[in-house]
Structures are given as C-alpha cells and as structure tokens.
C-alpha cells in the first residue's frame, strides 16, 4: 500500500508523535462503544440518565450497576493487535504521547503505562461528594444482579456514594490532562487519529488542532469521518490490521534522523 509506505517514511523523520485513540480501537477487543453498550437490558434507558451527575443522584443503583457491567466487560477483554502495536511504537520514535478517550484500561494492559486519559477510567472510581479515590477489590466483579441495579459502595472518609471515575455529560475534562494533551498536539510532527468518530468534543478538536500547527495527520478508521478532508492520510480499515503493518515496517527500516 503506497499510503502506508508514505506514513512510515514520515514517521522516520519525526521527533514528536501523538497517538489519539477512540472507542473503535477497543471495539476490536469486543468492548462495546458507549452507544453500543445501550443494548439488551439497557436499551430503554436515556444515555443522559446513565452518564450524568443528575442521573446518578436520581438513581445511583442503576448507574453504578451499568458501569460495573461495563467494567466487567473490560476486564474480560484482552488488548488487541492495535493496542500492542501502539506499545511497540513507543521505543521506535524519539517522543510519543498517547492520548485516549477510552476508559477500559486496555492500553495500560498492552504496556502503555504513560498516557493521557481524557475521559477518565472505569477502574478509578471516586467519592461523588469529596472526590476521594475508592480502591476497588481485585478480580472481575460479578454480573450486576438482574443485569441492572447494584448499590454503590460508600466513601470511607465522608460516607458519600462512590461514583464511576469517568467524565459524564455536562462535566469538564480533567484540566491538567487536557492542557498536556493540547501541548503535545500543538508540538507534534505527526498525529495518528485511530478509531475515533471525530464527533465527541472537545477531544475531537485535537487532530484539527495538530493540522493547524503544521503536523501530518494520519487517520485510521474503518469508516469515513469529518476528519477525512483534513487528514493527510486516510487509512480505512481495522486498526488491528493496519497499525501492526506500520510498526513492523518502521522497525525494519533505518532511522533517517
């Protein structure tokens, strides 16, 4: 594939690379996307009811049960070739920043220990009232009773309800993490946008921002998105198929720096 070879050639000349990932990467590990997770027992619920502070206060058992169901799905899944390829890319470029919208922890399990989680993590819940982190028990949680409701634990510090450690509708992204993501984006030579629909803002602005600052933008996605006209390379297909090819080729070629 000529485009793939050109991407590898660009990578050989880069000092700073950003990898920006969305739900499509984890979908190849059979992790349902946010919308896809609203199926079966969950299909009759409004997303805002399951992913907002107001929804949690209204029915904490419902919301906690849904997120424990999602966390169980994540823990039962395995990192796929895309996750592993990104981890292999790290030592092949001088500087790499991994920015993700995903909350499932599969990047970490693939070996990417330093990443910017824009939307938080299913595995780092905290108190709704005082934000004290809550240590989850080890192991895979049981299926929530009845497939739905599960009473959230209480905070040891203030007895407030424990909430999922993700960013909900109406909440801001973590300020420090967002600043780091913008800085890395503005300074990178090349940005990969992988498995993201380019619809969830403000995260979706990062590839456009990279382009405005002169970076090469490479999109890897099975389907077209609003980023297509902006990206320098649109590699349409599964990330788990395309990314290993790029990393393998880069590993075999001598650096041109």
Residues with active-site annotation: 119
Residues listed for the chain: 257
How far is the CA of 183 from the CAs of 119, 126, 199, in angstroms? 17, 27, 21
CA-to-CA distance for 204 and 234, rounded, in angstroms? Answer: 16
Token pair in block for residue 58: 């209204």
In terms of Cβ atoms closer than 10 Å to its own Cβ (0-12, 13-18, 19+), residue 43 is exposed
Percentages helix, strand, coil for the chain, rounded to the nearest 5?
40, 20, 45
The H-or-E segment that residue 216 falls in is strand 216-221
């Amino acid at each position: 594939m000529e485009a793939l070879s050109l991407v590898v050639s660009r990578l050989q000349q880069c000092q700073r690379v950003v990898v920006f990932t969305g739900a499509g990467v984890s979908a190849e590990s059979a992790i349902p996307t946010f919308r896809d997770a609203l199926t079966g027992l969950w299909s009759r619920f409004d997303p805002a009811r399951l992913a907002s502070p107001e929804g949690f206060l209204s029915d904490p058992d419902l919301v906690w049960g849904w997120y424990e169901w999602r966390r169980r799905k994540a823990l039962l899944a395995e990192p796929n070739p895309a996750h592993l390829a990104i981890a292999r890319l790290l030592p092949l470029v001088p500087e790499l920043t991994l920015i993700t919208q995903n909350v499932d922890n599969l990047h970490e399990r693939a070996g990417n220990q330093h990443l910017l989680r824009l939307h938080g993590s299913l595995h780092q819940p905290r108190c709704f009232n005082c934000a004290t982190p809550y240590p989850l028990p080890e192991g895979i949680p049981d299926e929530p009773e009845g497939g739905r409701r599960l009473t959230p634990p209480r905070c040891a510090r203030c007895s407030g309800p424990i909430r999922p450690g993700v960013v909900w509708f109406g909440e801001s992204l973590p300020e420090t993490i967002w600043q780091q993501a913008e800085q890395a984006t503005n300074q990178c030579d090349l940005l990969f946008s992988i498995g993201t629909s380019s619809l969830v803002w403000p995260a979706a602005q990062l590839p456009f921002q990279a382009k405005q600052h002169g970076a090469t933008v490479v999109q890897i996605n099975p389907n077209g998105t609003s980023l297509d006209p902006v990206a320098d390379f649109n590699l349409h297909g599964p990330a788990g198929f395309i990314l290993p090819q790029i990393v393998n080729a880069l590993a075999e070629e001598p650096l041109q720096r």
